[in-house]
Amino acid sequence: MENGKVENKKVVAGVLGILLGSFGAHKFYLGYKKEGIIQLIVSMVTFGLGGLVGVAEGIIYLTKSDDEFYQTYQAGKKPWF
């Protein structure tokens, strides 16, 4: 595992979660298609309030170490929080 690639994916996923979390962009970026669609539908049904989940996840992504992020979300495929 190359450290630069892991960090880059973490930062991009975190920023997408914060900025476009309502659309599930961070989920799609990490390869979680089903969860991305669920995030999008929840945000539509709640008139955007479901996007707060994306913001929270984006912050969580950015505060994890590179290795912890990789082990949890890329290798471990943990889809939520």
3-state secondary structure the chain: CCHHHHHHHHHHHHHHHHHHHHHCHHHHHCCCHHHHHHHHHHHHHCCCCCHHHHHHHHHHHHHCCHHHHHHHHHHCCCCCC
Residue 42 is assigned to a structural domain of this protein: yes
Measure Cα distances from 70 to 28, 32, 81 in Å.
Answer: 16, 14, 14
Residue 71 is assigned to a structural domain of this protein: yes
Q: What is the pTM of this model?
A: 0.86
pLDDT of residue 80: 84
Residue 80 is assigned to a structural domain of this protein: no
Domain count, the chain: 1
pLDDT in tens, the chain (81 residues): 555 665 579 999 999 999 999 999 999 999 999 999 999 999 999 998 999 999 999 999 999 999 999 999 988 888 887
Q: What gap in Å lies between CA 75 and CA 53, rounded to an integer?
A: 22
Structural domain span for residue 14: 3-75
Residue 61 is assigned to a structural domain of this protein: yes
Residue 81 is assigned to a structural domain of this protein: no
pLDDT of residue 5: 63
pLDDT of residue 4: 60
